[in-house]
Amino acid sequence: MVVKMAKVGLIRVLTTSDRDLLELHGEKVMSWFPGLEVVSRCIPDQPEGIHDDTTEQAAVPKVINLAKEFESEGFDGILVSCAGDPGVNELKDMLSIPVVGAGRTTACIALSFDLPVGVLGITDEVPVGMKAVLQDRMIAWARPEGVISTLDLMTLAGRTNTLKAADELRQKGAKVVALACTGMATIGISSLIAKETGLIVVNPLKAAAAALWAVLEQRGGN
């Protein structure tokens, strides 16, 4: 038995007026977990999303404000669609509803395979939360050539170079790839990486959605 239409507020850290792009992650989550009703909203004034310390710091108060808005409207849980988990730790002490980010959940699932992990992202360093979970199990880190922000992933070159970077991780000994950007879920690269490299791939959006679904299922008494 599953949760019947638990309401989830999904926070996009990429500012966009494109309704299809805004709702894409929520639609994916609802296709994976039909018991979740997802409403997507984006934070303001970040047209390139989060791709470094400065943009992450700027995003934190915006994520917090949006999450509080969702709670005040009676939502059952919050999904922050970003592997940097901006505002997630702060919100856990502020809200009475569960808040899940994509970074730590991805790292936890990657770790569960008990195999060498490679991390593939778009920032200069591995997100702090993911690094803290993986520790010495992470053997390599890669960033696709020419990819500076999540927008770059949506180009043909970005997609091609993401696949190349994943193969570089395989060559370095990784058996599991933890994707450190939910923009990679936007372009649907997970299955292609798995097919082309033979690696186990952890999709950050699906990882976060699964964690939140599990919590909401328990709260629903199932």
CA distance 9 to 7: 7
pLDDT in tens, 67-78: 999 999 999 999
Return the closest-CA partner of residue 66 out of 43, 89, 37, 100: 43
CA distance 123 to 184: 13
pLDDT in tens, 104-155: 999 999 999 999 999 999 988 999 999 999 999 999 999 999 998 888 898 9
Q: Evaluate whether 88 touches 100 at the Cβ level (below 8 Å).
A: yes
Q: Give the count of beta carbons closer than 10 Å to the beta carbon of residue 132.
A: 12
Identify the CATH number of the domain defined by range 104-205: 3.40.50.1860
CA distance readout (Å), 214 to 125, 159, 196, 220, 222: 30, 31, 31, 10, 10
pLDDT of 221 strictly over 70: no
CA distance 195 to 24: 23
pLDDT of 23 strictly over 90: yes
Please tell me what DSSP assigns to residue 19.
Answer: H
**Residues 74-98, buried b or exposed e (16+ Cβ, 10 A)?**
ebbbbbbbbbbbbbbeebeeebebb
Mean pLDDT of the chain: 93
Q: List alpha helices for 93-200, DSSP H.
A: 102-112, 128-134, 156-171, 183-186, 190-197
Domain with CATH 3.40.50.1860 in the chain: 6-101+206-219, 104-205
pLDDT of 3 strictly over 80: no
In the sheet where 99-101 sits, what is the strand order? Answer: 36-42, 6-12, 77-81, 99-101
Q: What is the rounded average pLDDT of the residues 17-26?
A: 96
Cα 213 to chain center, whole Å? Answer: 15
Cα 16 to chain center, whole Å? Answer: 17
Per-residue model confidence (pLDDT) at position 127: 94
pLDDT in tens, 168-218: 999 999 999 999 999 998 888 999 999 999 999 999 999 999 999 999 988
In CATH, what class is 6-101+206-219?
alpha beta
**Range 186-193, long-range pairs (CB < 8 A, 24+ positions):** 186/21, 186/24, 186/25, 186/150, 186/153, 186/154, 187/153, 187/154, 187/158, 187/159, 187/162, 189/153, 189/159, 189/162, 189/163, 192/163, 193/162, 193/163, 193/166
